[in-house]
């Protein structure tokens, strides 16, 4: 993963973009599991920056939103976390690429935390709102959430 910056400089086709963004997603998940929220969010920010927004990258934006929502809900961003989750679930369903099985338990904990914070009705309404977002809207929301989590400008 330390060669990620070099890979970004060397490749700019869709397949390479997919690989680069997915590497950012994997790196973010590793940081999340290690408890390093700042590094996890920074990896998501880098992945969002590397994603070009074309049809193939919609899944990648969804994957990054999915990872970000798990961090966001732990950091008091339950409403936007629910929106990000709704978007991610719709894109993952449309692409027939479900979230990795390894993440299921963390997602279930995040959902329980969101329901406890927001109430089930509000949680479902926010997920539906997120599910109706266009990929570029979700990427903008994700960038804003990441900026708030890290205290950086979006």
Total residues belonging to the chain: 154
Q: What is the DSSP string of 95-128?
A: TT-PPPGGGHHHHHHHHHHHHHHH-HHHHHHHHH
Alpha carbons 83 and 38: distance in angstroms, whole number: 21
What per-residue confidence (pLDDT) applies to 3?
57
Q: How confident is the model at residue 42 (pLDDT cuts 50, 70, 90)?
A: confident
* Single pTM value for the model: 0.77
pLDDT above 70 (res 134): yes
28, 4 contact by CB (below 8 A):
no
What per-residue confidence (pLDDT) applies to 120?
96
């Amino acid at each position: 993963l330390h060669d990620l910056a070099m890979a970004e400089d060397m490749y700019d086709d869709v397949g390479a973009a997919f690989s680069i963004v997915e590497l950012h997603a994997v790196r973010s998940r590793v940081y999340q599991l290690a408890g390093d929220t700042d590094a996890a969010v920074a990896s998501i920010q880098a992945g969002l920056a590397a994603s070009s927004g074309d049809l193939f990258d919609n899944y990648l934006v969804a994957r990054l939103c999915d990872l970000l929502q798990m961090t966001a809900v732990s950091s008091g961003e339950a409403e936007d976390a629910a929106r990000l989750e709704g978007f991610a679930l719709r894109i993952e369903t449309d692409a027939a690429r479900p979230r990795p099985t390894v993440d299921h338990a963390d997602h279930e904990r995040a959902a329980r935390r969101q329901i406890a914070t927001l109430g089930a009705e509000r949680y479902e309404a926010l997920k539906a709102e997120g599910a109706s977002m266009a990929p570029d809207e979700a990427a903008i929301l994700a960038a804003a959430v990441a900026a708030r989590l890290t205290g950086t400008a979006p």
